[in-house]
Amino acid sequence: MSDHIHILGICGTFMGGLALLARERGFSVTGSDRNVYPPMSTQLLESGISLVDGYEAEQLSPAPGCVVVGNALSRGQPVVEAMLNEGLHYTSGPEWLGRHILHDQWVLAAAGTHGKTTTASMLAWILDCAGLEPGFLIGGVPSNFGVSARMGGGRYFVVEADEYDSAFFDKRSKFVHYRPKTVIINNLEYDHADIFPDLAAIETQFHHLVRCIPAEGLIIRGDGAAIDRVLERGVWSPTVTVQASADDGWSWRALSAQADRVEIGTPDGAVASLQWSLIGAHNAANAAAAIAAAAHVGISLEDAVLALTTFKGVKRRLELLGKPGDIAVYDDFAHHPTAIESTLLALRPQTSAGKLIALIEPRSNTMRMGEHRAHLAAAARAADHTLWFEPAEMNWELGSAVGAAPEQEVFQSIDTMIDRALALATSGDTIVVMSNGGFGGLHHQLMTQLEARATA
């Protein structure tokens, strides 16, 4: 079989990282996608991986040795029909990863509804600082590494373990293909309404993950009834809990309003203070979970905390884009009410002397289906002003959910939304842009106009 693999949906964060790993392993890699945007498209082009725009059948000629199919692909697309008609060898991205990359590694997986990307990035950095040269595949770009994936030089591999389905022909969650030894389950809420009918269906997939963890493995879990229900179905591995200010298990406690100083506690009562560049209670919890996972491979509390003092965060996860005219502008990936609320609560303490302005695109499939509409207004209440963008693809009226709050406005035009943000923002304010997509280039347009105004 040819060592040429062709990846459909290559510009997604997972598939793009997979492409980098395959290339590093010696495979010839090409791929296709549509409507791509940085940072993944830039990362692939800089790595010399050829991209095709669109999903036409011609891209499979000459035939690759294997077609790796992303979960955004479905029946009816020309490239998929050609792949099936011609009898080409094909697989899902997660299955390819498990077979070719993870099979001989100690896999450390970060799972849960929120915080997977940041927690996995922290864990990879802790292991790297300890000299373990971990491989990793993360659904974002950790600033300390500058890439979303690498093979590494040791026996450890950190993976962001997503519960989304694997492909149109494999409806199991991605993470069941990874067979981890160390697993973090940060939290568990309802999401991915396009895939799962209810929270119980997601809990079933998480229990499939739990069934794969060896008796010598470790489950590091956050608090919550949904995780309780998953483990009540059966657990065959040691389990430790990460909680705020807990008396047992792993714990974290904010030592400052912004949680940029945090105390981490171990199950045996040891404590260490962490001062770092990140903020927010959610990141403090992520840090405690990452340190607990690092301890499972023998890294001390002191060394793990020292590593996180130099952790620079992840692109698009509360990433500071700049401060034109003394207006701080952040980019964040939040697209679920809990994540929106956590981000705003993290920023609130530093904006006591100015306004906190949120620009939000409810872009995820779950948001567009209206599953979280009842929680949106409350999720944004920590902001002084919230500007919501209503995509054309929404199948419900956003204004009906947030219109009653006078500080929350809805826009159908990105240009009009930017104009409103510029009218609101003054020196000392903070603007946070939240979307799990490109937001129509809003980030760049907003920064450009703020910089021009500051120069003028």
Q: For residue 403, with 0-12 CB atoms within 10 Å meaning exposed, 13-18 middle and 19 or more buried, which class applies?
A: middle
At the topology level, CATH places domain 4-92 in Rossmann fold (3.40.50)
pLDDT tens digits along 125-176: 999 999 999 999 998 889 999 888 999 998 999 999 999 999 999 999 999 9
Q: Do domains 104-308 and 319-455 have the same CATH topology?
A: no
For 65-95, give one letter per residue: b (16+ CB within 10 A) or e. ebbbbbbbbeeebebbebbeeeeeebbbbbb
Q: Which parts of 133-238 are beta strand (E)?
A: 135-137, 149-150, 156-160, 165-167, 170-173, 182-185, 218-221
Give the H/E segment covering residue 356: strand 356-360
Give mean pLDDT, residues 209-214.
Answer: 96
Q: Are 112 and 184 in contact (CB under 8 A)?
A: yes
Q: Work out the percent of the chain whose per-residue pLDDT is above 90.
A: 72
First and final C-alpha spacing in the chain: 62
Separation between Cα atoms, residue 332 and residue 344, nearest integer Å: 10
Give the helix ranges, DSSP H, for 196-252.
199-211, 225-232
Span 361-390, mean pLDDT? 85
Mean pLDDT for 13-42 is: 86
Confidence of residue 27 (pLDDT cuts 50, 70, 90): very high
Domain 319-455 classification at class level: alpha beta
The answer, yes or no, to whether residue 39 has pLDDT greater than 80, is: no
Residue 362's pLDDT band, with cuts at 50, 70 and 90, is confident
Higher pLDDT, 80 or 346: 80
Q: Which residue has the higher pLDDT, 195 or 231?
A: 231
Is pLDDT of 366 > 80? no
Instruction: Please list the residues that pair with 218 across neighbouring strands.
Output: 182
CATH superfamily to which 104-308 belongs: Mur-like, catalytic domain (3.40.1190.10)
pLDDT number for residue 373: 84
pLDDT in tens, 389-436: 988 878 888 888 887 777 899 999 999 999 999 999 999 999 999 998
Instruction: Judge whether residue 42 has pLDDT over 80.
Output: no
What pLDDT, on the 0 to 100 scale, is given for residue 212? 94
84 has a pLDDT exceeding 70:
yes
**What is the spatial distance between Cα 232 and Cα 237, in angstroms, rounded to a whole number?**
13
Whole-number average pLDDT of the chain: 92
Tokens for 208, please give them: 């499939």
Listed by start position, the domains of the chain span 4-92, 104-308, 319-455
Among residues of the chain, what percentage have pLDDT more than 70?
98
Say what the pLDDT of residue 38 is: 66
- Decide: 321 and 330 in contact? Cβ < 8 Å: yes
pLDDT number for residue 384: 93
